[in-house]
Chain A
């Protein structure tokens, strides 16, 4: 029977990779990956293991011998493979139980962070003093800072990282945006952000967030200034269409 150099049967290597990947995603990476996403990535891990095992005829035989308990193994591996044969059905049973158990959680929601803007946003004429990030007036940014700290900081945080004092209270289904993340405001034209600030996400079903609309609270100029400050604070610039 062929085993690799270290004498570890391929069945054990496969187990180490599978269990190790799961533990890494759920218990070592912080914050842990959501469980359904972990399952998604586990699909890749399983594919990798399957490819590895089936690349070689001898490895297939060895693997089948190992899991079907027909090959002779040292005591440690023998105990391990028998344990796995018990653990797998238990694991499946636990999953079935978890799925069927009555819970009071709302159903999972799939959402897109960047939904399609209405036509007026695409055609919107941004005021000249706000349109070009290289020519932003420090006075405007200072005014923006005051508005930001007064209205936005509780959720979006002092450092524009989406980690304000109340952020944790409103994480479901959409957490406050972290402006420093490369996938948020830096990917958006400034008119798009203006639309989000003006209209918010409470009444727009596609956003499903707790972001209030500021159109009634702030003047248009003030909204531009706070947007400019958000970009400035996050250290990024808006994109063009």
Chain B
């Protein structure tokens, strides 16, 4: 009980700071206040994004900790349980940091933007109360989940799993409650033109509420996987004994696997989000995709390229620790160049910097054909296929395929070729059909790809069932550069999250709440993309410093686990 009170104290401090902010905001009597040196907008931006990154992390980790724990329970594998515990170890300190950041963020927004935030209180007061109750319950669930890990083992494991499930439900509800406010800023509903609340239900279930829920949930799990993988990489690099190295090598692989599997679903969630934005307001859709913010997507393509290639690079190097993988390594250069080409297509802009010297007017025939959406969707799918094949190589390497199963390999090849063929056909039609049809085609292609990929893995399972290995995987025998690749992937992931967070907020242009409450402060205009990326990089550094702190604080306990 004493421990619980101690843990809740930090949360209570966070809530206290937030309540103070709401009180100051209500009494303020002005519309805006400025913040010295970095300005009020930048302060809010940095606090909000850093808090969101932590919030993403603490939502994600319990999701896959529970999955690994359940897998360990079903397979009766102690190692999996230890791994899940090692991931969960990162949770308590992260929760405390999130609570403090949340409190500071609320204090800052209510103090510096009282008009806007008082309006939000007026509309959403009931959801605020629900939110506080939920985070209190969630924090309690984390405390119980973590402290009962060993006590509720063995016969009582099922009870522990139930606590994990409750924790996950609470975490998801907390995220959804916060998404009510964010999605309302972007696509308000349930209020009249003057901003008077007509229906709280409509305000909650606005156009982008569900797309943001889905997109964030998937992105958060992916992000959590990569951050945990970078934690494992850090531990791997600082490991002393071969056993520790083997444990953290495996942990890094698992984290990466979780990150990739969930990341594959992100484009689909993104298309759905985009479609809902267009449905809410076509003007906002154009601003987002083709207008002022279109260059964000270029940057996103580069960052995603770094993430995908970083993951694959790690996995390609990982083949070295699998005895008998030599015959598969020769395919790797082809795979890497195909993926590089796909990413170059994805990152090709629609228009470019125009200089007199080039006399191209910022345009080039290549932009008109490669710079538009049609080939990019095919390119993304090719890149996804590259990652899938890389994972297949990792599974296949070093296994002796039993006689008579060659047919499964042929079936897999047929499915892969079918995916390529479908993408080529869609690519061709994407150029000649109207945009609306093209967007639908991209969604159908994706819906085709998911079961196709699942089938590839199903046949892989049949192919490799009971297959002998040439030798055991030499966990812990990875070149250090592979671990740096994992760290680069995590850094790029943080940067990508912060970039797209900016994009979503910037789509509102000069509105606090789009079309309802205008931003009349001196920060109403958008910053230049260059300035924005500086702040984004600053946020990335801040987050990495804080998460580094979490790694450091929890590190010693983890070492014991590995031993």
Residues of A within 8 A of B (CB): 29, 31, 33-37, 40-41, 44-45, 47-48, 51-52, 54-57, 105-119, 122, 171-175, 178, 181-184, 186-187, 189, 237, 239-241
Residues of B within 8 A of A116 (CB): 283, 286-287, 291-292
Interface of chain B: mostly helix, strand, loop or mixed? helix
A-B contact pairs, 8 of them (CB 8 A): A34-B352, A36-B352, A40-B347, A52-B336, A118-B283, A175-B362, A178-B368, A182-B431
Residues of A within 8 A of B351 (CB): 110-113
Residues of A within 8 A of B154 (CB): none
**Interface-central residue, B286, B317, B333, B340, by most chain A CB under 10 Å:** B286
Contact B309 A31 (CB under 8 A): no
Q: How far is the CB of B548 from chain A (nearest CB, A)?
A: 26
What residue in chain A is nearest B289 (Cβ atoms)?
A114
Q: How far is A164 from B367 in the complex, measured between Cα atoms in Å? A: 20
Q: How far is A211 from B372 in the complex, measured between Cα atoms in Å? A: 23
B193 interface residue, CB < 8 Å from A? no
Residues of B within 8 A of A105 (CB): 355-357
Contact A55 B363 (CB under 8 A): no
Q: How far is A189 from B435 in the complex, measured between Cα atoms in Å? A: 10
Q: How far is the CB of A111 from chain B (nearest CB, A)?
A: 6
Contact B291 A34 (CB under 8 A): no
Contact A109 B286 (CB under 8 A): no
Contact B436 A239 (CB under 8 A): yes
Contact A34 B364 (CB under 8 A): yes
Q: How far is A120 from B28 in the complex, measured between Cα atoms in Å? A: 37
B337-365 vs A: 1/0 string, CB under 8 Å?
Answer: 10010011001011111111111111111
B204-234 vs A: 1/0 string, CB under 8 Å?
Answer: 0000000000000000000000000000000
Pairs A-B, 5 closest by C-beta atoms? A175-B361, A181-B368, A114-B290, A34-B358, A173-B354
Residues of A within 8 A of B364 (CB): 31, 33-34, 37
Contact A108 B355 (CB under 8 A): yes
Residues of A within 8 A of B329 (CB): 55-56
Q: How far is A122 from B515 in the complex, measured between Cα atoms in Å? A: 14
**Interface-central residue, B358, B368, B435, by most chain A CB under 10 Å:** B358
Contact A111 B286 (CB under 8 A): no
**Interface-central residue, A34, A107, A172, A175, by most chain B CB under 10 Å:** A34
What residue in chain A is nearest B281 (Cβ atoms)?
A122
Contact A237 B434 (CB under 8 A): yes
Contact B283 A122 (CB under 8 A): yes
What residue in chain B is nearest A40 (Cβ atoms)?
B347
Give the interface size class of chain B.
Answer: 35 or more
Contact A122 B282 (CB under 8 A): yes
Residues of A within 8 A of B336 (CB): 48, 51-52, 55
Contact B337 A48 (CB under 8 A): yes
Residues of B within 8 A of A31 (CB): 360, 364-365
Within 8 Å by CB of A51, from B283, B309, B431, lies B309
Contact B344 A44 (CB under 8 A): yes
B295 interface residue, CB < 8 Å from A? yes
Residues of B within 8 A of A187 (CB): 290, 372, 435
Known: A41-B344, A237-B434. A108 touches B287 (CB 8 A): no
Contact A55 B344 (CB under 8 A): no
Contact B436 A240 (CB under 8 A): yes
Q: How far is A194 from B434 in the complex, measured between Cα atoms in Å? A: 18
Q: How far is the CB of A63 from chain B (nearest CB, A)?
A: 14
Within 8 Å by CB of B354, from A35, A40, A174, lies A174
B481 interface residue, CB < 8 Å from A? yes
Give residues of chain B (279-317) contacting chain A, Cβ–Cβ below 8 Å. 281-283, 286-287, 290-292, 294-295, 305, 309, 313, 316-317
Q: How far is the CB of B298 from chain A (nearest CB, A)?
A: 9
B72-102 vs A: 1/0 string, CB under 8 Å?
Answer: 0000000000000000000000000000000
Contact B354 A29 (CB under 8 A): no
What residue in chain A is nearest B337 (Cβ atoms)?
A48
Residues of A within 8 A of B359 (CB): 171-172
Q: How far is A106 from B316 in the complex, measured between Cα atoms in Å? A: 46
Q: How far is the CB of A152 from chain B (nearest CB, A)?
A: 17
Contact A182 B372 (CB under 8 A): yes
Within 8 Å by CB of B362, from A33, A55, A174, lies A174
Contact A108 B365 (CB under 8 A): no
Known: A52-B333, A182-B369, A183-B367. A110 touches B353 (CB 8 A): yes
Q: How far is A44 from B344 in the complex, measured between Cα atoms in Å? A: 7
B174 interface residue, CB < 8 Å from A? no
B278 interface residue, CB < 8 Å from A? yes
What residue in chain A is nearest B357 (Cβ atoms)?
A105
Residues of A within 8 A of B366 (CB): 29, 33
Q: How far is A36 from B434 in the complex, measured between Cα atoms in Å? A: 32
Contact A113 B343 (CB under 8 A): no
Residues of B within 8 A of A44 (CB): 305, 340, 343-344, 347
Q: How far is the CB of B295 from chain A (nearest CB, A)?
A: 7
Contact A115 B316 (CB under 8 A): no
Residues of B within 8 A of A34 (CB): 352-353, 355, 358, 360, 364
Contact A37 B352 (CB under 8 A): yes
Contact B290 A57 (CB under 8 A): no
B25 interface residue, CB < 8 Å from A? no
What residue in chain B is nearest A36 (Cβ atoms)?
B353
Q: How far is A35 from B357 in the complex, measured between Cα atoms in Å? A: 9
Known: A116-B287, A239-B436. A55 touches B352 (CB 8 A): no
Q: How far is the CB of A61 from chain B (nearest CB, A)?
A: 13
Q: How far is A189 from B290 in the complex, measured between Cα atoms in Å? A: 13
B332 interface residue, CB < 8 Å from A? yes
Q: How far is the CB of A238 from chain B (nearest CB, A)?
A: 8
Q: How far is A119 from B354 in the complex, measured between Cα atoms in Å? A: 29
Residues of B within 8 A of A48 (CB): 336-337, 340
Contact B278 A241 (CB under 8 A): yes
Residues of B within 8 A of A55 (CB): 313, 316-317, 329, 332-333, 336
Q: How far is A72 from B269 in the complex, measured between Cα atoms in Å? A: 54
What residue in chain B is nearest A43 (Cβ atoms)?
B302
Within 8 Å by CB of B294, from A35, A109, A112, A186, lies A112
B371 interface residue, CB < 8 Å from A? yes
B374 interface residue, CB < 8 Å from A? yes
Q: How far is A118 from B349 in the complex, measured between Cα atoms in Å? A: 24
Q: How far is the CB of B532 from chain A (nearest CB, A)?
A: 14
Q: How far is A166 from B64 in the complex, measured between Cα atoms in Å? A: 62
Q: How far is A45 from B344 in the complex, measured between Cα atoms in Å? A: 9
Q: How far is A112 from B526 in the complex, measured between Cα atoms in Å? A: 15
B479 interface residue, CB < 8 Å from A? yes
Within 8 Å by CB of B372, from A47, A183, A241, lies A183
Q: How far is the CB of B361 from chain A (nearest CB, A)?
A: 3
Known: A35-B357, A55-B316, A112-B291. A183 touches B371 (CB 8 A): yes
Residues of B within 8 A of A40 (CB): 347
Contact B290 A239 (CB under 8 A): no
Give residues of chain B (358-388) contacting chain A, Cβ–Cβ below 8 Å. 358-369, 371-372, 374
